[in-house]
């Protein structure tokens, strides 16, 4: 059973460009969340997708947008890249199991460098 | 002030030591308290979670939550070199999956 997968592993872009990151959730999961982890910091919540809709959003500008497909996979798009967007972008998936806490499983991340 | 505060370390201990990792928080709405372990160049993996206050034990790991003090801890007994990683505390409230993370504490266990 494959866990959460993300592509690409690494990415280098220049300021002003646009980038698309991809995530495939763990088998059986229908909810995908995206986090940004700057160097030496904890992950920060960007947004969450469920049933192809954005369900929750963190404190990130509109330059950050996403999409979820019918097969539950997801994309994160960032427009007009800034140097400060350089970070590890983590995808986490979860699925309702009727328990008190539904664990979020994280992928290995995509490391984005903006020059 | 950040919602979740965590000492970034680094923390360096000898093999076999007891390690104590801590976080404080300010949002009284938090109900779920998690500890994640993150190895270099990997995504975080869940170690333990606790709902509301209390203690939880899993092998060498013990998590404690004191909601009255807004303070959570993770204890690692008989620490091993393989425990060397960054430990992240995370929290969330009811009816939300949004996790609020601390900055992470880097732990090194030397033989």
Work out the percent of chain B whose per-residue pLDDT is above 70: 100
Query: Which residue of chain B comes nearest to A43, CA vs CA?
Result: B101
Task: Give the pLDDT band (50/70/90) at residue A1.
Answer: low
- Please judge whether A44 and B101 are an interchain contact, meaning their C-beta atoms are less than 8 angstroms apart: yes
Residue of A7, A40, A42 for testing the chain B interface, max B β-carbons within 10 Å? A42
pLDDT for B28-55, tens place per residue?
999 999 999 999 889 999 999 898 888 9
A84 touches chain B (CB under 8 A): no
Kindly state the average pLDDT of the residues B76-103: 93
pLDDT for A36-71, tens place per residue?
999 999 999 999 999 999 999 999 999 999 999 999
pLDDT of residue A103: 82
| Half-sphere CA count of A62, side-chain side, radius 13 A | 0
Q: Is-contact A90 A109, C-beta < 8 A?
A: yes
- Please judge whether B98 and A45 are an interchain contact, meaning their C-beta atoms are less than 8 angstroms apart: yes
Better-scored residue on pLDDT, B18 or B8 = B18
Quote the mean pLDDT of chain B: 93
**Alpha-carbon span A11 to A88, nearest angstrom:** 10
Select from B90, B98, B103 the Cβ nearest to the Cβ of A58. Answer: B98
* Long-range contacts of residues A103-106, Cβ cutoff 8 Å, at least 24 apart: A103/B46, A103/B49, A104/A33, A104/B46, A104/B97, A104/B99, A105/A3, A105/A4, A105/A26, A105/A29, A105/B46, A106/A4, A106/A35, A106/B36, A106/B43, A106/B44, A106/B45
Better-scored residue on pLDDT, B8 or B61 = B61
Would you say residue B109 has pLDDT above 90? yes
- A28: β partners: none
């Amino acid at each position: 059973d494959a866990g959460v997968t993300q592509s690409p592993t690494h990415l280098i872009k220049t300021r002003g460009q646009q980038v698309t990151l991809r995530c495939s959730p763990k088998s059986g999961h229908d909810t995908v969340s995206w986090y940004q982890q700057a160097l030496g910091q904890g992950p920060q919540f960007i947004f969450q997708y469920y049933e192809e809709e954005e369900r929750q959003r963190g404190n990130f500008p509109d330059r950050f947008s996403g999409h979820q497909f019918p097969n539950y996979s997801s994309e994160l798009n960032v427009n007009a890249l800034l140097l400060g967007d350089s970070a590890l972008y983590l995808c986490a998936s979860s699925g309702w199991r009727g328990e008190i806490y539904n664990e979020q499983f994280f992928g290995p991340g995509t490391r984005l460098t903006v020059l | 002030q950040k919602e979740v505060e965590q000492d970034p370390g680094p923390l360096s201990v000898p093999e076999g030591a007891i390690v104590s990792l801590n976080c404080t928080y300010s949002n009284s709405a938090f109900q779920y308290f998690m500890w994640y372990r993150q190895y270099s160049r990997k995504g975080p993996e869940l170690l333990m979670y606790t709902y509301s206050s209390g203690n939880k034990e899993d092998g060498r790991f013990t998590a404690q939550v004191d909601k009255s003090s807004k303070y959570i801890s993770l204890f690692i007994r008989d620490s091993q070199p393989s425990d060397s990683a960054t430990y992240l505390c995370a929290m969330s409230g009811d009816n939300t999956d949004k996790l609020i993370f601390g900055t992470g504490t880097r732990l090194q266990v030397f033989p």
